[in-house]
Amino acid sequence: MRLSRSLIPTLKETPAEATIASHRLMLRAGMVRQEAAGIYAWLPIGLRVLSHVARIVRAEQDRAGAQEILMPTIQPADLWRESGRYDDYGLEMLRIRDRHERDLLYGPTNEEMVTDLFRNAVRSYRQLPQSVYHIQWKFRDEVRPRFGVMRGREFLMKDAYSFDLDYAGAVVSYRRMMLAYMRTFQRLGLRAIPMVADTGPIGGDLSHEFIVLAPTGESEVFYDAAFEAIDWTGDDYDLFSSEQLEQFYTRMTGIYAATEDKHDAQAWARVAPASQRQGRGIEVGHIFYFGEKYSRPMGLTVAGPDGAPLVPHMGSYGIGVSRLVGALIEAHHDEAGIKWPDSVAPFRAAILNLKQGDATTDAIAERLYSALAPDALYDDREERAGVKFADADLLGHPWQIIVGPRGAANGMVEVKRRLTGERVELSLEDALTRVCA
């Protein structure tokens, strides 16, 4: 993309409404614009990041055997009357009436609809287990939206649903999804820690929140440093071996981690002092096992081996995709701007032509751009060097290739790593090799 003709409205000053780092930086970097309380338009830079996050989420869901579908944002109220949630959900649900006076709603989640899909399409126990997911916009009419996309009313969520024949099967699905989540967050460049969450009326211990560590997070967390040492993306655990999933789960839940309200001083005391870590975190995912809560009232059954109907056990698994964009910034920024992890950066590199209109720098910048496009943002504006440096740091591309008149005369450019601030002068070819490595 050429910056001179892009919708990337960076701001030098912070808009008054933004108080936390990610909100401030998303507005300053021109990633989003607010349209109403908790409702945002995503501009090119923001959308690229959102897509990259979704891509990783999708890849790990696919790898865990979940099937991608796409359910609508608008749902018929009757479905929710079947589960009883049409009345229970309260004012957070946005209710709509169409021209025929039919009651509709903008979906805050999809348990009812996915249960409906399965009851209409799945007949036999031999078709289970299965799980599906979609990445779709949700609407929850929050009393107080805030913190930009971290708590919007409209947000992009990945929600997955598992269908198993019995509790034992559901447990395996649950653990598989937990492993998929650990891999997802690690690939995104985040340190996420699962913490036991309230299960509500279902009971049991099968509900976890995933807390991403970020200095500006909302809740205080305590955890064992052992979490930091584990590489979940490796092949240590087979997603399709229930034994290995059990090992994974045992290991994971054997390490101490708790949010402030569930903090257990006695258990904490047993963690070696050198391994005690305290920080702040943001909830970016939540997984539940809820058994027959929807399948039974909505009449989802499959024929069992003996012909008798079986009621599948379900689970649901959410990741706040748009919230993750905010969480990523909370975890990766400095005074100058965002420091994107390579895996989600809007562009791999920015090309800074410090003297636009100069034949030599123009030629070099164009060559770099054609070699790196479409994964590079070419700052071809007629701006002073300082403006380009500041915007590049703000937008947070992992790499900056600085083309200035001094080096250009000798065929040299400067490569800056945003993460470390390290800069080296290199030939064109070496610069490309370095950035593409």
Partner RNA sequence: CGGGGCGUAGCUCAGCCUGGUAGAGCAUUGCGUUUGGGACGCAAGGGCCGAAGGUUCAAAUCCUUUCGCCCCGACCA
Residues contributing to the site for RNA (CB under 7 A): 10-19, 23, 28, 34, 36-38, 140, 142-147, 150-153, 155, 157, 209, 218, 283-286, 318-320, 322-323, 336, 354-355, 383-387, 389-391, 393-394, 402, 404-408, 414, 416, 423
The phi-psi region of residue 8 (left if phi > 0; otherwise alpha if psi is between -120 and 50; otherwise beta) is: beta
C-alpha 396/C-alpha 22 separation (Å) is 13
Least separation in angstroms between CB 407 and RNA: 4
Comparison of 312 and 337: residue with beta carbon closer to RNA? 337
Q: Name the minimum Å distance from CB 102 to RNA.
A: 25
User: Does a cis peptide bond (omega within 30 degrees of 0) precede residue 129?
Assistant: yes
Nearest approach in angstroms of CB 150 to RNA is 7
Name the residue nearer to RNA (CB basis): 172 or 319. 319
CB 81 within 8 A of CB 117: no
Considering the complex, state which of residue 23 and residue 58 has its C-beta at the smaller distance from RNA.
23
Taking phi over 0 as left and psi of -120 to 50 as alpha, with beta for the rest, 317 belongs to beta
* 108 within 8 A of 96, measured Cβ to Cβ: no
Nearer to RNA (CB atom), residue 187 or residue 355: 355
Beta carbon nearer to RNA, 310 or 327? 327
Decide whether 122 or 431 has the Cβ nearer to RNA.
431
- CA-to-CA distance for 213 and 222, rounded, in angstroms? 10
Cα separations in angstroms, 185 against 150, 180, 188, 218, 325: 16, 9, 5, 18, 12
Q: Which residues contact 235 (CB under 8 A, 6 or more apart)?
A: none
Q: Which is nearer to RNA, 162 or 301 (CB)?
A: 162
Cα distance between residue 294 and residue 93, in whole Å: 18
- CB-wise, 235 or 261, nearer to RNA? 261
Q: CB of residue 236 vs RNA: minimum separation in angstroms? A: 26
**Nearest distance from residue 263's CB to RNA, in Å?**
16
- Cβ nearer to RNA, comparing 107 with 320: 320
Q: Which is nearer to RNA, 125 or 147 (CB)?
A: 147
- Type of residue numbered 279: G
Q: Minimum distance from CB of 175 to RNA (Å)? A: 19
Which of 310, 368 has the CB closer to RNA? 368
In the complex, least distance from residue 387 CB atom to RNA, rounded to whole angstroms? 4
Min dist. Cβ of residue 274 to RNA (A): 31
Closest separation between CB of residue 87 and RNA, Å? 17
Considering the complex, what minimum distance in angstroms separates the CB of residue 320 from RNA? 3
In the complex, least distance from residue 30 CB atom to RNA, rounded to whole angstroms: 11
